[in-house]
Structure 1
Amino acid sequence: MKKSLNISYSAVQGSYWMYFGAIMSFASVFLLSKDYTNSEIGVILALSSIGAVILQPILADMVDKMEQKPLILLTNIVAIGLIFGTASLYLFKMKSLTLTIVFITLAAFMSSLQPIVTSIAFHYSTARNPINFGMSRSFGSVSYAAMTSILGAMVYKYGTNAIPTAGIIILFLLIVSLLTTASISKKAVIEADIDNIDLNKMQKSQQKISLAEFIRRNKNFVIFSFAVMLIFFQNSVLNSYLIQILENVGGNSNQMGQLFSFMAVLELPGLFFFTQIRKKLSCQFMLKLSSVAFSFKIFLTYLAGSVSFIYIAFLFQLISFPLFLSSSVHLVDEVMDKNEAVKGQSLITSMMTLSTVFASFIGGFVLDLSGASSLLLISSVLAVIGTIVVFVIIDKIKDSKSLIE
């Protein structure tokens, strides 16, 4: 049962990140083909991220109120809506206000699902049937790698209609994997005869702490979350504007897909073996190390004069993204009570989303005004500032929490 639950949740992660790859990682490619400018693309991506920030607490509140209904039901409802929205992309030949609204809505709802997909792991995991988040998230990276590589080649050969086609197929896979996870988890609880566990009530109890109280108890963590926003600015720039960065050094959409795939493959060891790594290294140390790796990656990308050199820069993905993502998730679990952990996870996700807002707005205009090199330089400076904040504040989080308690 434990193995089956991990497999089904891995499929949830895999299908979600494949859809992310199809819609967000290829957003610039799709919108450029419809005659949007870089500035217009930046505004679209920024507005979609703002929409996600607004939607995330709304969806979380809806989940909190679904006392007798599974968390996965809401996720499936959103996924069904995304199927219709993705299919509508076929209808647009050139840019229009309607296409702009549709794409913003699609991207916003897709991004708003990310913290819910993460929460599913903790929602359905039990002591007897735990879900290995690192292993499952690593499957998400494998799936993302395969998707971006294949889709890059398909777009290069057949055009951008390959993007919505891939998205629709993936969403059906997401729905099936969500239903399977819920079914297996229900059987696990029944077979274990854990009568004192009410997962919905557990989730509801995690929402009771007020935001003001959360900030009072976690001031240093809030400061750390701002560092996350600064560091992930460069990550958002690379996710949104890699095609423009590659074209600046002679690359194309096929190479873009290969580079996204390359990055995703590099994430696998850190995600898959994170449990073992965590036994040797603290979350605080790994957050420092991964922050430095992020800074080196973006700065070397700024220095790159060829696609080959960008591959060298992206080698830092091996220790940047997987260690930072997993460490931040587990840091929340380490330093926070159950009644505030959801807000902690949501804060980190919101800051990552806000980084996309700023990266999208600033990135599009900088690309049009002064080119890819200027955007990479700005990203490098912000990553370094964020890294400095992490070094100053991260070790203080546990200490300050202990004093409050």
Structure 2
Amino acid sequence: MNKENINYAGLTGSFDIVVGSVSAYSSVFLMAQGLDEFAIGILTSTANLLASFLQPWLGDKVDKSIKLNLWHVNILIIIPSLLLLVGILLASRWVALVAFFYTLVLTLQVTLSPFLSAIGVYIMNNGVKINYGVSRGVQSSAFAMTSTTLGILVSRMGTQTIIYFAIFGYLLYLVMLFILYQNVLKSLFADHSQAVKLNPVDVALKPTQTPFFNKYPHFKYIIFGSFCFFIGHNFINLFMIQIIENVGGTTENMGIAVGLSAIAEVPMMLLFTRINQRVSINKLMMTAAIFFSIKTIFTLLASSVVGIYMAQVMQPFAFGIYIVGSVYYTNSQMDATDKVKGQSLVTTAHTLGGVVGSSVGGWLINHFSVEYGLIFCIIMSLLGVAAYYIGLFNHR
């Protein structure tokens, strides 16, 4: 493996240390501050919505600026994140301030994600080969190790461990970013012009010469299905501690459950292109759709921690296939001029699904129970399966 691959994989892995702490344990941390599930859902929804506006604004600044590049934007996101994390530790007695800071940390974390991907795309577009399968595998592995380790440490040392892990992740990210800058980016920035298009919502809504859904009538079913799947996907990820505690588990069990799903998806991501050579992309996407529903149903039916573990190891056939397959599918269905808009529509569906999963799911848990939240997710997921069936096999 060349040094560019190692450098970039190290960058993606360090980022998922942050995701595996700040995002995966957001419900655990905020509940320890005295917030209920509905409040947690609203805060995480707000973070996603704020990021959907901040991402395109920063991306536009990079596109139009001569001096501002991806290196600068990454630094401009990470430094405030580190200050906010330190602020959370210092303001531990003021719940409202901690919640506000945590929402901003989540916003910046979500905002950073496409700029991390843009670095890889920028490197590849300038003639340097990057293996995305390897970097994605490193990400999932780092996430799995972080979530599993934190599950043990939080139960023994308290929720502030989450913040310390996030600080460590960002500091490591800065080190890996500096190494990548010195080895690769610095010379590329000097030799090549840069264009970064990170405006999924704006691109998704931008009118085209031929109305998009007239040209690709089946794709509206794919967008709706993706929206439905991400309601349940986000709900399970955000409220895993409530799901685990509902069957008698602990924070340590939660860490194992989240780690299992992350590590289980790695082989599927690495082997996806080989599998796709034997199985059509339509069949693979339909498989993912069905397994999103099966995983949520198994989560509802689980009566023990082991049952939750069994549901989590279905992740490769749901999210593992979907997250790679959706990119391949969209690229295969559209003309070159429409590919960016297609991917942007899918990304927007993910964001909206996450908002609904967080807010409505949190409200259902707060006013009824975890089971009601999962039933809602199952209903939406089954609607998604029906939409995918129409979009993939039965559209006209």
Give the alignment's TM-score, normalised by structure 2: 0.90
Would you say the 8 A contact 1:129–1:188 is kept in 2? no
Instruction: Answer yes or no: is 1:200 the counterpart of 2:194.
Output: yes
* Deviation readout 1:132-181 (Å, 9 max, x if unpaired): 21221111000000000111111111001101111111001112223333
Would you say the 8 A contact 1:45–1:360 is kept in 2? yes
> Partner amino acid for 1:313?
A
SS in 1 for 2:207: helix
* Post-superposition offset of 1:318: 2.1
* Post-superposition offset of 1:10: 1.3
Question: 1: distance between equivalents of 2:338 and 2:285?
Answer: 21
Question: 1: distance between equivalents of 2:203 and 2:316?
Answer: 38
Question: For residues 267-286 of structure 1, what are the structure 2 equivalents within 5 Å?
Answer: 267-286=265-284
Which of 299, 303, 308 in structure 1 is aligned with 2:301?
A: 303
Question: 2: distance between equivalents of 1:221 and 1:115?
Answer: 23
SS in 2 for 1:113: helix
Deviates more, 1:289-298 or 1:94-103: 94-103
Question: 1: distance between equivalents of 2:143 and 2:336?
Answer: 31
Unpaired runs of 5+ in structure 2? Answer: none
* Post-superposition offset of 1:4: 1.5
CA distance 1:285–1:127, shift in 2 (3 Å): farther
* Deviation readout 1:354-397 (Å, 9 max, x if unpaired): 21211111111111211111111111111111122112113589
Question: 2: distance between equivalents of 1:296 and 1:94?
Answer: 42
> Partner amino acid for 2:124?
S
Question: For residues 64-75 of structure 1, what are the structure 2 equivalents within 5 Å?
Answer: 64-75=63-74
* Deviation readout 1:319-347 (Å, 9 max, x if unpaired): 21111001112333334455544443333
* Post-superposition offset of 1:23: 0.7
Would you say the 8 A contact 2:148–2:252 is kept in 1? yes
Deviates more, 1:2-11 or 1:306-315: 2-11
Q: Over the residues paired in the alignment, what is the CA RMSD in angstroms?
A: 2.7
Question: 1: distance between equivalents of 2:92 and 2:161?
Answer: 14
Question: 1: distance between equivalents of 2:277 and 2:46?
Answer: 40
What is the identity percentage for the equivalent residue pairs of Structure 1 and Structure 2? Answer: 25
Would you say the 8 A contact 1:244–1:372 is kept in 2? yes
Question: 2: distance between equivalents of 1:312 and 1:80?
Answer: 39
Aligned partner of 1:403 in structure 2 is none
Aligned partner of 1:318 in structure 2 is 316
SS in 1 for 2:313: helix
Aligned partner of 1:170 in structure 2 is 169
Would you say the 8 A contact 2:59–2:197 is kept in 1? no
Question: 2: distance between equivalents of 1:351 and 1:25?
Answer: 20
* Post-superposition offset of 1:258: 0.8
Question: 2: distance between equivalents of 1:189 and 1:40?
Answer: 45
SS in 2 for 1:136: helix
Instruction: Answer yes or no: is 1:139 the counterpart of 2:138.
Output: yes
SS in 2 for 1:273: helix
Question: 2: distance between equivalents of 1:30 and 1:202?
Answer: 34
> Partner amino acid for 1:107?
L
> Partner amino acid for 1:320?
A
SS in 2 for 1:345: helix
Question: For residues 1-400 of structure 1, what are the structure 2 equivalents within 5 Å?
Answer: 3-94=2-93, 96-126=95-125, 128-186=127-185, 198=192, 200-201=194-195, 211-213=206-208, 216=212, 217-336=215-334, 340-394=338-392
Unpaired runs of 5+ in structure 1? Answer: 401-405
Give the alignment's TM-score, normalised by structure 1: 0.88
* Post-superposition offset of 1:51: 1.2
Would you say the 8 A contact 2:218–2:390 is kept in 1? no
Would you say the 8 A contact 1:34–1:95 is kept in 2? no
CA distance 1:283–1:122, shift in 2 (3 Å): farther
SS in 2 for 1:49: helix
Deviates more, 1:142-151 or 1:50-59: 50-59
Question: 2: distance between equivalents of 1:308 and 1:119?
Answer: 39
Would you say the 8 A contact 2:204–2:342 is kept in 1? no
